[in-house]
Structure 1
Amino acid sequence: MISLIIPTHQESASINDHLRAYAPWVGDRLEIILVDSPREATLPLLDSTLPLKTLSAPQGRASQMNAGARIAQGEFLLFLHADTLLPKATPHLIQETLQRGYIAGSFSLGFDSPRLTLAILASLANLRTRFSGIPYGDQGLFVRQEDFWSVGGFPLEGFLEDVLLVQKLRARGKIAILKERVLTSPRRYEERGILRQALQNRLIMLLFTLGFSPSLLRRLY
């Protein structure tokens, strides 16, 4: 079984559209765990007919995802941003990939937008991922539960928790980058400016590579 763990942050009722797309997978193949925080108000927005497990945890993506993993019953964990839509056949793709010996994996990136600039940005991001071997959280990260806990789960640094986890996992095995794409919301890019946000992301990762702490880099984000 796969445990799909979704931390929420300032979501709207549109989150139900993504959750409904996953509902047919729920059962022997998948469970959905949605983790809210005391400062959020996502749970009242949820469609009560959806087959979900819900809980509350201290605010922060790492804290919320670790809390979801603690109650997960699946052999495999899939961490996903609430504004990201998974590709079709996701349960099969994850099980097949991890059974081939990879310690973890992610999907390629796509944006839920027809804009050419965002399509180019996604293609460049996918080239970066394949070159570096380090996917980001908005690509959907999946891993065996035992391997996730063997490296201590998500570090509670407050920023770049996805990168820090992947670095730990890479020290233990190979990370698969699937060609199938997730579709993530371009909202942040559209609000801040596509070029500005892309350059800011690159600057943060450059500074991180040079040894700047995640807590310091968070102030730049």
Structure 2
Amino acid sequence: MPLPDTMFCAQQINIPPELPDILKQFTKAAIRTQPHDVLQWSAAYFACLSKGERLPVKERVEMPVATQKTDTGLTPGLLKVLHNQLSHKGTVEVTELEKKWKDLCLPKEQLKAILGLDNFGDMVHWMKFLALGCSTLGGSITSALKHACEILTKDPDGGPARIPFTTFSFLYAYLAHLDGDISKSEIETALATLQEEVQNEMVQPRNFLNSLCPPLF
């Protein structure tokens, strides 16, 4: 039996008052993040929203590098999203990291390659993973540390990108140790020289990118 024709008027349709703002914020988040799979990312977005968790959203649109002809997967903005979502845990289960990685539509093979750089097991030390992610972005230890400063800083966008010296020391020593070609004495000399230059125990990229600092490799 066919359903009767139904007439609707404005008085019959109840629009939740919060819906317009939810959709507006969602649209702005999608534009900033530019997910490769909008449906997959949207499911993660609303799941986090309903649970009161940090959203999988970039702080700003990332423009592709001029020489970038293909999608490289992880970007500084996406790594910062992961940091915002997971860093408070200290150590993260690999399964949870895999889920957050998938939510951002990142290639599974890239995560596997990063995890393969250290023997993490089922749990991942977050700051070590961040360091490895930055090395994937940067290619060299110096470039990786520059990315780390820009991701971890509390300075406003375009500021000096300062981070605590203790955090910098941990990241540098970890990456240098994994490199295998940098001796313990070279690591200690570089950090001692850098500490003499920094102010208020805060490091910024210009401190270790100048000619007075021993090369970090």
TM-score norm. by structure 1 comes to 0.26
Greater fraction of residues in strand: 1
The alignment's TM-score, normalised by the length of structure 2, stands at 0.27
Which has more radius of gyration?
2
Higher fraction of helix = 2
